[in-house]
Structures are given as C-alpha cells and as structure tokens.
Amino acid sequence: MLNNRTLAVIKREIREKLLSKSFIIATLLIPVMMFGMIALQTVFIKMEGDENTFLQVAVPDANFAEKLQKEFDQRDFVKDGSYQIRVVVSDTSTFEELLKNAKPDMLSGKLSGIVQVPPTATIDKKLKYYSTNPNSRSVEGKITSAVNSVLIDNYFSSKELSQGDLNYAMSRVNMDGFRITEDEKIEEEGVGNRILSFLFAFLLYFSLLFTGQSMITSVLEEKSSRIVEVILASVSTSELMAGKILGSALIGVVQMAIWLSPVLVIISTSIFVLPPELILSITAGHLLYFLVNFLVGLVLFLGLYATLGAIFDNPQDAQSGNLPIMMLIIIPFFITFSMVNNPNNTLATVSSMFPFSSIIVMPSRMTLVDVPLWQFAVSIFLNIAVMFLIFPFAGKIYRVGILRTGKKPSWAEVAKWLRYKN
C-alpha cells in the first residue's frame, strides 16, 4: 500500500495543506483563542453585574438587626459601594405591609429586593428573597454568607465559647491532594493537571472535527471538479485514499506538536516557573503517547470522513451523514467532564480504552490519575484493530463513490457497494 504512488499523494497533500493560509492561521490562532477564552471566562465570572444593588433585610428583632448590620458593613462588597444594605426590624405580622410598601420601588428599580430572615431561620437557616430578579446567585451568595455568620454567632453565644471557638466553628474544611506514584517522590496535587485535562480534551475535540471537515471538503472539491479522474489515471483508489489520509494525518500531528510545545517547555526546563498550585505532573512520555494516540485517531476518523466525502456530491448532502461521526467525537468530549469528580469511575475507565472514545478520554484521564501501562496498550491496540476492521469496507465505498455523480445515493444503495467486486 505504501508505494511510490502513495508517497506521491502524501507529498501532494502535505504540500497543499501544510503551506496553506488556513493551516498557518489555525496553528497560530488556536493557542491565542484558547488563552483568550480562559481570559474571557475569568473576566465574565468576575463581572457579576450586581453593582449598585440596594437591599433591605428584614429580621425579627433589634438585637439580631444590629449584629447583622455590623456584619454587612464589614464586608468588602459594602465597603466598595457595590452594595447598599439596610437591615430593618420586621416580624411576621408586619412583613406583608413592608413588602407591599416596597413593591413600587422594586418595580421601578430603586430597590433591588427584600430579604426576609424569618424567626424559623435560627433552626432551618432558610431565608426568603423578594425581587424582580430572585434568581441572582451573586446576591444569594453574599447575603447568605453574612446571615449565616450572625446565626452561628447567636447560636453559640449562650454556650460560653470564645471568639476563637466561633471562628473555628465557622471555618471551612479544605483538603489538599497528594499523588502517590510508583516512584518514591510524593507531590502535592494542584489544579495544573486539571486544567491540562480540559486543554487536552479541547485540542483533540477541535482538531478531529476541524481536520475531518477539511477532509470532506477536499474530497468533495476533487470530485466535483473532476480532478480525481485525472489523479486516478496514475494511482488506484486505494492508493489515493491512503495517501490523502496519511498526508492529512501527518499535517495534523505536526500542528498538534506545535500546540503542545509550550507544555513540553514548561515540564522540561526551568525557564518558566509556575506557581505551586499550577505545577504540571506530566512527563514527555505522556506527550509522546498523546501524539501517537492522536495519529491513530486521525487515521481512523479521516478514513470515515474521506469515505463520507466520496459518497456525496455536495457539502449539504455530506452533512446529513456527518452526525454519527460527529457523535463519536462529541460524546467522549462530554465524558471528560464527568472525570472531574472521579477520574477512575467506571464510565471514564471503560471509555478510556473503548475504540473511538479512548482517543479523547484517555489523554484527558492520564493527566488526573496514573493509568496502568496495559490500559494505554489496550487503548491503542483496539483503535488499530477497529481501523483494520472497517477500512476494507470504507475502501470499497470510497472506490465506488469517488467516481459516482448525480443523484444522492440512499444508505441502502451504499450498502450494496460493499458487495461489488474489486
């Protein structure tokens, strides 16, 4: 299969795509886009949009009101003027009147809302928020934190506890993780590998979809312009298909290696010193596996995309058959999000070795836990096995479809192509 004619097709694919503007732009812009997305997400999270919030907090007694007002006044969101909070005394019998009188101000925007702290809050810690925007998580977080602090203070005030005891009771429990590996070194686990897990998943997700769409477009262009008929005068359909797949796969690996080069620099040199919580616990061997896995995945998916492009005559028809292939990429991408809570759950473990899904899940999972070598081997072996299993059928469909034009074939007709003799 890998003869001089196939190599000629590979060189043609590399020459046309490696130096193309789309390849250069994508290679340069994707890292910028990724860091830009992270920066935008950080900005959007900080932009809570709750400035100039004016709230009334109704409590059942004056003593609680005094303590709560003092607690609010000490909070940064009140000190910087983002929030104005006025604590008023109103029991259950007078609250309805208070709410009725405040309703016009809430509708006009002068008052953001009223928070009721009912007498039962000392037991069940349940508050009520009345507003034209009662779903504001930002308001909820700020108010409940301050009210909870005063509720705890009141609850333990009669139990002869010191302020230190109260501070201890109100403090949260934090747990740091330490990764145990086969070597003797034990290191604290930060968030660096978790970020890397999402980065790997995103890179694979984007590159498989982008490269696959590029393959469909290339096949359709050659088919519609009749260039493929000229090419097939010199090479066979199997040589053309193999050359296009391998050429595009090599270009994709080169592009991915460029994207991963900053990670390699960070883990192999001391030029860039990351904060302790962002240290990456990954080796060059992991990156090598990532590229090998990506190469296998590209060949597998590009074979499906090339076959899909050969079946149809235009992009609109091709999109109708693209969904099943896209789901083989999209579903594993979403599985990687389930690994945040437990990278060793059954779904993550099985999908990291299952054909197609392992291409995205395994690289993401290996950044979070130490994966046994046999699981890496099973992942690669099964994908290669599936490749050799489906490529003979894909090759038959490609051989018939690449020279066929006219009416859009039905899937039943495509199935008949598999029975054609070579």
| Interval 165-175: pLDDT, tens | 666 666 655 55
Residues 304 and 201 reside in one and the same domain: yes
pLDDT the model gives residue 172: 58
The end-to-end CA distance of the chain, in Å, is 15
Burial of 213 (0-12, 13-18, 19+ CB in 10 A): middle
Predicted confidence band of residue 186 (pLDDT cuts 50, 70, 90)? very low
- Between these two residues, 8 and 34, which has the higher pLDDT value? 8
Tell me, yes or no, whether 46 lies in a domain: no
- Given 139, 170, 201, the domain boundary residue is 170
Mean pLDDT score, 201-225: 87
Assess whether pLDDT exceeds 80 at residue 270: no
**How sure is the predictor about 132, in pLDDT bands with cuts at 50, 70 and 90?**
confident
Sign of the Cα torsion 262, 264, 265, 267 reads positive
The amino acid at 157: S
- Same domain, yes or no, for 206 and 283? yes
Q: Which residue has the higher pLDDT, 122 or 1?
A: 122
Per-residue pLDDT, averaged over 224-234, amounts to: 78
Q: Are residue 161 and residue 220 in the same domain, yes or no?
A: no
The residues with which 187 forms a beta bridge, in sequence order, are 179
Residue 185 pLDDT: 52
Which one has a higher pLDDT value, 187 or 59? 59
Residues 72 and 56: beta-carbon distance below 8 Å: no
Mean pLDDT, all residues of the chain: 81
Q: Number of structural domains, the chain?
A: 2
pLDDT at 275 over 90: no
Instruction: Give residue 165's pLDDT.
Output: 67
Are 335 and 368 members of one domain? yes
Mean pLDDT of 23-47: 63
Query: What is the C-alpha separation between 251 and 104, in angstroms, rounded?
Result: 64
* Statement to judge: residues 166 and 199 lie in one domain: no
Residue 422 resides in a domain: no
Contact (CB, 8 A) for 135 and 79: no
Give the confidence band of 237 by pLDDT, cuts at 50, 70, 90.
confident
Q: 139 with 53: CB under 8 angstroms?
A: yes
Is pLDDT at 422 greater than 60 in this prediction? no
Residue with tokens 């900005």: 43
Query: What is the extent of the structural domain holding 107?
Result: 53-170
Query: Please, which pLDDT band fits residue 86 given cuts at 50, 70 and 90?
Result: very high
As a whole number of angstroms, the distance between CA 81 and CA 311 comes to 64
- Indicate if 260 and 377 belong to the same structural domain: yes
How buried is residue 359: exposed, middle or buried, by Cβ count under 10 Å (0-12/13-18/19+)? buried
Q: Kind of pairing, strands 177-179 and 187-189? A: antiparallel
Q: Residue 258 to residues 29, 251, 262: CA-CA distances in angstroms?
A: 12, 11, 8
**Distance (Å, whole) CA 185 – CA 51:** 48
Q: Which helix (H) or strand (E) is 83 found in, with range?
A: strand 83-89
Give me the percent of the chain exceeding a pLDDT of 70: 82
Judged against a pLDDT cut of 90, whether residue 354 lies above it is answered with yes
Cβ neighbours of residue 2 closer than 8 Å, sequence gap 6 or more = 242, 246
Given a cut of 50, whether residue 184 has pLDDT beyond it is no
- Tell me, yes or no, whether 202 and 290 share the same domain: yes
Q: Would you place residue 295 in the very low, low, confident or very high pLDDT band (cuts 50, 70, 90)?
A: very high
pLDDT tens track for 307-335 = 888 888 877 878 778 888 999 999 999 99
User: 232 lies in a domain?
Assistant: yes
